[in-house]
Chain A
Amino acid sequence: MTKRPNQAPAPPMTRPSFLRGIVGIWYRHALALTRVWKVATTWFVIEPACVLLAMGLGVGRLIGTLPTHGEYASFVTPGMIVGMAMYHAIFECSWGAFQRIQSHSVETLLTTPIGIVQLAAGEILWGATRSALSTIAVGGLALGLGWLDPSAFPGVLLVSMLVGVEFGAIGLCFAATAQTTSTLSLIFTIVATPLFFFSGSFFPMEILPRALQIAAWIAPLSPGVHLARGFATHDLHTTHLAAAVYLVLLGAASFPVAVWLLRRKLLR
């Protein structure tokens, strides 16, 4: 390239890459987590372990085996793992992000050379990381109990991260629109809790009335549960492919909405 004589002087600092912004947000969250790792351990291990053990050992002992789905503990495990992955991503990207918007520390991030897209992507990437950490903890416990096959673990982990991306983006939408913490809590009462119980985690969807079955299959956590169970039982067929496509589409569709809502909220 030839240098023109009247070329403007190069700015003293080179512009950071697009990826730097995303990694930087992720780095911020990782640092924040290491500062509270003792408490964080309880989120990742103790609480989900209680639910998994109660379902697997408690309810599982009453039910024993399901007619079409085998042992109940093995049936419920992938659903629990994916449900917990959803909770972690939602918590991080709705509650966590909302608090940081309110305290203006998100505005500070935007005084660096990053844009809203990188902010949203970094937040969601971290949400998915928390989903993965949760799956490593709960899945590790399930491996130890013999309720999850080690060879199924990578597949289940991948599904958890996709679920993390999807619900991270959905969580950000709520963080960007909620006016108060009480409206924000709607994401738990109208989104997370119904999905957790009615996405096929605890019982096979076939036993629901027909109309509810359709709603349950459309529900955004169902493809994750179905896919994780497919990996767990080593029984993958075309419905799982459809679930994977649906899952990815849900994440891909939520992301631009989250970006749009965040831009509306933060750049006024």
Chain B
Amino acid sequence: MAEIRVEKLVKRFGTVRAIDGLSFEVASGETFGLLGPNGAGKTTTMRVLSGLSPVDSGEVSIAGIDALRDPRAVRCVVGVVTQQDGLDDDLNVRQNLEVFGFLAGLSLRVARRHTREVLDFFGLASRSEDAIDELSGGMKRRLAIARALMIQPRAVILDEPTTGLDPHSRNRVWEELAQLKARGVTILMSTHYMDEAATLCDRIAILDRGRILALDPPLELIEKHTRGDVQELRVTTASHSSVRAELERAGIRWREVGAVFRLNREADPAAVRSIAGTRSEVRRANLEDVFLNLTGRELRDE
């Protein structure tokens, strides 16, 4: 049964359709990712599902509850992690969790027990009496996720769980989310990191301008929307303009992605190798390429 069901959701900010007829379903126990660049409508979707943002039309059902009519009931059973950590600087680590649990309806005794449990789960037990500003960025993020688990939710909604984190912290968050999934918790997350989506998600919806462009498991997305391999040209000693001139002369079409020339697949390998001052590489296509092929733009575009 679908744990989260979104149907024909529309939300406008003035004349802009931030969400433009969005429909998808997340199965119970599934980890589902919304992947897209900034401005694609990810955060708005997350906020709508959490009851933090009104919509113009559409339907949302979460855990069998009409989420647009009764958002407070949804938040009794679904943990919400917003994009900002939103930690309370006036309280210490433990108090942040206890107050949250109390507001969610737990008795103080149960809130204290859950606090110990989630701090243990996140390896933060030794920091329980610390002030928030004594924590690293990664710890703050993990505490924000821990907070959402205070209610022992059946589903969590995570808006960009690792944006701005260092690689080590990202890996820890990934590990912890994988453990949550193993416990059967349904996870809906947004991200603009394709590696994050590929690592964690059972299925990914590629979102752009408030619409879903494609929705499949990560490998199927790559199979369907790329040609498997991608040939790239890295500039070593040549100038970018001379490489452009040579590619044009050889009749090879390309797209510049950052400092790399991503070549059209029909490029003749011999012709490519003959371009001086460059190094050519063939790699497996990834979700970044899926997005590029679907939209003609990069995932990192603002």
Bound: A12/B106 CA distance, A: 12
Q: Is A240's beta carbon under 8 Å from chain B?
A: no
A14 at interface by CB-CB < 8 Å: yes
Q: What's the nearest-Cβ distance from chain A to residue B174, in Å?
A: 22
The answer to whether A20 and B105 have CB atoms under 8 Å apart is yes
Contacting chain A: which of B28-36, B50-58, B177-185, B268-276?
Answer: B50-58
Q: Say if the beta carbon of B38 comes within 8 Å of chain A.
A: no
Contact mask for chain A residues 1-27; partner B; CB cutoff 8 A; 1 contact, 0 none:
000000010011111110011001101
Task: Give chain A residues whose Cβ lies under 8 Å from the Cβ of B85.
Answer: 104
Q: State whether A108 touches B88 (Cβ < 8 A).
A: yes
Is there an interface contact between B148 and A111, defined as CB atoms closer than 8 Å?
A: yes
Interface residues on B, range: 35 or more
B52, A28: Cβ atoms under 8 Å? no
Residue contact B151 to A13, C-beta cutoff 8 Å: yes
Contact B73 A31 (CB under 8 A): no
Task: Work out how many contacts link A and B, with CB atoms closer than 8 A.
Answer: 102
Question: Given the known A-B contacts A8-B64, A25-B103, are A111 and B95 also in contact in the complex, defined by CB atoms under 8 Å?
Answer: no
User: In the complex the two chains form, is B73's CB within 8 Å of A24's CB?
Assistant: no
> Do B82 and A104 touch (CB < 8 A)?
yes
Q: Let me know if A35 is at the binding interface, CB within 8 A.
A: yes
CB of B91 within 8 A of CB of A31, answer yes
Q: Does B99 contact A (CB under 8 A)?
A: yes
What 0/1 readout, one digit per residue, does chain A (32-43) give for beta carbons within 8 Å of chain B? 100110000000
Q: Which residues of B contact A108 (CB under 8 A)?
A: 82, 86-88, 100, 144, 147
Q: Is the CB of B52 within 8 A of A112?
A: no
Q: Does A114 contact B (CB under 8 A)?
A: yes
Query: Which residues of chain B are near A17, meaning CB under 8 Å?
Result: 105
CB of A237 closer than 8 Å to a CB of B: no
Residues of B within 8 A of A8 (CB): 64
Q: B82 to A111, Cβ gap below 8 A?
A: yes
Residues of B within 8 A of A109 (CB): 103
* Contact pattern, A 86-108, Cβ under 8 Å of B = 1, otherwise 0: 00000000000000100111011
- The verdict on B89 contacting chain A, using a C-beta distance below 8 Å, is yes
Nearest CB in chain B: distance from A142 CB, A: 31
B84 within 8 A of A: yes
Contact present for A28 and B104 (CB under 8 Å): no
Write out, one digit per residue, whether chain B residues 88-124 have a CB within 8 A of any chain A CB (1) or not (0): 1111100100011011110000000000000000000
| B17 lies within 8 A of chain A by Cβ | no
B115–chain A nearest beta-carbon distance, Å: 13
Chain A contacts for B151, CB-based, 8 A: 13
Chain A residues contacting B105 (CB-CB under 8 Å) are: 13-17, 20, 113
Min CB–CB distance A113 → chain B (angstroms): 4
Interface centre among A16, A32, A104, A113 (most CB of B within 10 A): A113
Expressed in whole angstroms, the minimum distance between the Cβ of A262 and any Cβ of chain B is 13
- Contact B73–A112 (Cβ < 8 Å): no
User: Closest residue to A36 on the B side, CB-wise?
Assistant: B90
Contact B89 A113 (CB under 8 A): no
B76 contacts which chain A residues (CB < 8 A)?
A: 11, 13-16, 113
Assembled-state Cα–Cα distance A35/B129 (Å): 12
1/0 per residue, CB under 8 A from A, across B138-167: the answer is 000000100110011010000000000000
Interface residues of B (CB under 8 A from A): 50, 52-54, 63-65, 72-73, 75-77, 79-82, 84-92, 95, 99-100, 102-105, 144, 147-148, 151-152, 154
Q: A residues bordering B, Cβ < 8 Å? A: 8, 11-17, 20-21, 24-25, 27-28, 31-32, 35-36, 100, 103-105, 107-115, 266-268
A104-B85, A107-B84 given. 10 additional CB < 8 A pairs?
Answer: A31-B91, A35-B90, A36-B90, A104-B86, A111-B52, A111-B80, A111-B148, A112-B103, A112-B104, A113-B72
